Structure 1
Amino acid sequence: MSDLPKIIGERIRKFRKEKGLSQEELAHMANLHTTYIGQLERGEKNATLGSIEKVANALDISLEELFRSIHSHSDSQVYTLSQIITHLQAMSVKDQKTILKLLEILLEWKEQ
């Protein structure tokens, strides 16, 4: 199972504490149940995009800020993939396809 729910939960808890909010206050502001906030923070629930958006809005942070540097270990696969995706999202579809072709060429070369 992915560590992503736990990592997201830790980020939510970090931002909540920085804002000086209790779980109850955050739940009220996000229009979610207090128990659900606790489960999110402990990584026990896979959050829906809708609930993540509600929590981010209640914390007055952007989704980008919530997910930025989500994994602090720069040598981890999750961190590396998130960096690749971040770069690709800023490109046009045409450029993304070019990068994909280059990646396929590099992978073929590496296998030889």
Structure 2
Amino acid sequence: MSETLLKLVGAKIRSARKAKGLSQEQLGEQAGFHLTYIGGVERGTRNISLANLERIAVALEMKAHELLQYHQEFGDLRNRNDALKEVIDLLANREDSEVRMATRILNEIFLEYSQKQK
């Protein structure tokens, strides 16, 4: 797996874990791994096998293929810092009213997303 793919899958696992309200330790216990393994997977520094991906998916009450569907949430952004930088760059030279509008839109998107996760 490429480094970018590992980071995207790791970010998807982290997102799913947090949405379930689990700590890395709790996820590790449920999947049968040490928390340091889960941390490495989430950071994209561990090359996870398909068998281990399946164990994590079961612990998250998901199907393994859902953890590979990172492109729907993360697009072409390589990591969180890239995403934040892109948002800042988009808003940097905008009027205050446009920044407030963008903030309201993002809040609505996040609200809708969190309601769908329930």
TM-score interval w.r.t. the shorter chain? 0.5 to 0.7
1:73-99 Cα offsets, whole Å, 9 max, x none, are 3xxxxxxxxxxxxxxxxxxxxxxxxxx
Q: Point out the structure with max Rg over C-alpha.
A: 1
Q: What stretches of structure 2 of length at least 5 have no aligned partner?
A: 77-118
- Matched AA of 1:16: R
Q: Secondary structure of 2:29's partner?
A: helix
TM-score (norm 2): 0.58
Q: What stretches of structure 1 of length at least 5 have no aligned partner?
A: 74-112
Q: Hey, what does 1:78 align to over in structure 2?
A: none
Q: Secondary structure of 1:3's partner?
A: helix
Q: Secondary structure of 1:60's partner?
A: coil
Q: Hey, what does 1:46 align to over in structure 2?
A: 47
Query: d(CA) in 2 for partners of 1:33 and 1:69?
Result: 24
Rate the CA distance shift 1:3–1:37 in 2: closer, same or farther, 3 A. same
Query: d(CA) in 1 for partners of 2:55 and 2:44?
Result: 17
> May I ask how many residue pairs the two structures share in their alignment?
74
Q: Hey, what does 1:72 align to over in structure 2?
A: 75
Q: Secondary structure of 1:51's partner?
A: helix
Q: Hey, what does 2:18 align to over in structure 1?
A: 17
Query: d(CA) in 1 for partners of 2:8 and 2:66?
Result: 14
Q: Hey, what does 2:9 align to over in structure 1?
A: 8
TM-score (norm 1): 0.61
RMSD: 1.7
